[in-house]
């Protein structure tokens, strides 16, 4: 019964959501109730996730075998989580904008002029300090580091070891050269506009491949959904005892 009841609830819920697209007049109210349940369950899932994260981080912090770098990272994570929650509860998340007059240097004219401009300033501690001054710079730094990983992965992938890798290297080189002015200049010496070829690869060949991938993903999603509805896929209810 512990396994049959979750499978039954999953099947009924999925069928109701599917029928709502075809018979909204019949299943509209039930679907709205289910969506509200999803919001409530998601809220409890977030709370459980936060508690689980705190327990694991505290355990790694007090364990003597934990490396000092990992211990510092876990302490920073715990403090950041607690401080963010407290500030969010005290100051709320809604921005608090006020208008202020500021002197702005206008460099668009021949002679630089100083103009008065009304700018909106966010006085909320949560949005102005936590989000704009801490979270956004950290996110920018994280994404900037991804460029080096992408460059390393591209170097390993663009090795002409076989026919497929050679075609990948050729297409990538054409697209890269077509995106920079020096590409048109170099190939213009032989009467070829490399940017047109690059645009053709991106808009036609790449678009066709992306459509094929999206179609395959859609078919796979339908298959997984049917397996969940008919109780064939049981990984979401855990292992059988």
Range of the domain at 219: 158-241
> Per the domain annotation, does 132 fall within a domain?
yes
- Same domain? For 77 and 109 the reply is no
pLDDT tens for residues 107-166? 555 454 555 555 555 556 566 677 777 878 888 888 888 878 877 777 776 676 778 778
pLDDT of residue 156: 75
- Same domain? For 178 and 135 the reply is no
- Same domain? For 98 and 79 the reply is no
- Same domain? For 78 and 164 the reply is no
pTM: 0.54
- Same domain? For 174 and 227 the reply is yes
Q: How confident is residue 212, by pLDDT bands cut at 50, 70 and 90?
A: very high
- Same domain? For 80 and 123 the reply is no
Q: Domain ends where: 66, 91, 116?
A: 91
> Per the domain annotation, does 153 fall within a domain?
no
- Same domain? For 84 and 106 the reply is no
pLDDT tens for residues 82-97? 887 887 777 665 555 5
Query: For every residue of the chain, which 3-state class applies, written as one string?
Result: CCCHHHHHHHHHHHHHHHHHHHCHHHHHHHHHHHHHHHHHHHHHHHHHHHHHHHHHHHHHHHCCCCCHHHHHHHHHHHHHHHHHHHHHHHHCCCCCEEEEEEEEEECCCCCCEEEEEEEEEECCHHHHHHHHHHHHHHHHHHHHHHHHHHHHHHHHHCCCCCHHHHHHHHHHHHHHHHCCHHHHHHHHCCCCCHHHHHHHHHHHHHHHHHHHHHHHHHHHHHHHHHHHHCCCCCHHHCCCC
Compare 77 and 119 and report the one with higher pLDDT.
77
- Same domain? For 143 and 219 the reply is no
For the ranges 42-51, 98-107, 187-196, the lowest mean pLDDT is seen at 98-107
> Per the domain annotation, does 139 fall within a domain?
yes
Q: Domain ends where: 115, 148, 181?
A: 148
Q: How many domains does the chain have?
A: 3
pLDDT at 235 > cutoff 60 = yes
Compare 122 and 187 and report the one with higher pLDDT.
187
> Per the domain annotation, does 186 fall within a domain?
yes
- Same domain? For 170 and 229 the reply is yes
- Same domain? For 99 and 84 the reply is no
- Same domain? For 105 and 68 the reply is no
- Same domain? For 34 and 66 the reply is yes
pLDDT tens for residues 35-68? 888 889 888 988 899 899 999 988 888 887 777 8
């Amino acid at each position: 019964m512990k396994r049959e009841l979750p499978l039954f609830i999953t099947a009924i819920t999925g069928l109701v959501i599917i029928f709502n697209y075809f018979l909204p007049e019949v299943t509209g109210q039930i679907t709205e109730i289910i969506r509200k349940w999803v919001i409530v369950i998601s809220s409890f899932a977030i709370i459980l996730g936060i508690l689980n994260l705190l327990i694991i981080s505290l355990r790694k912090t007090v364990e003597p075998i934990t490396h000092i770098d990992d211990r510092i990272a876990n302490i920073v994570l715990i403090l950041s989580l607690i401080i963010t929650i407290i500030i969010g509860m005290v100051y709320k998340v809604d921005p608090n904008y006020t208008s202020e007059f500021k002197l702005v240097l206008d460099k668009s004219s021949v002679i630089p002029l100083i103009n008065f401009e009304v700018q909106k300033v966010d006085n909320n501690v949560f949005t102005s300090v936590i989000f704009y001054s801490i979270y956004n710079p950290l996110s920018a730094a994280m994404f900037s580091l991804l460029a080096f990983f992408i460059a390393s992965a591209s170097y390993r992938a663009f090795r002409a070891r076989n026919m497929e890798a050679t075609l990948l290297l050729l297409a990538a080189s054409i697209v890269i050269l077509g995106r920079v002015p020096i590409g048109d200049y170099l190939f213009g010496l032989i009467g070829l506009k490399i940017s047109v070829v690059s645009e053709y690869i991106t808009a036609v060949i790449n678009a066709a491949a992306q459509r094929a991938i999206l179609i395959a993903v859609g078919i796979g999603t339908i298959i997984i959904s049917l397996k969940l509805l008919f109780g064939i896929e049981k990984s979401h209810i855990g292992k059988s005892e």
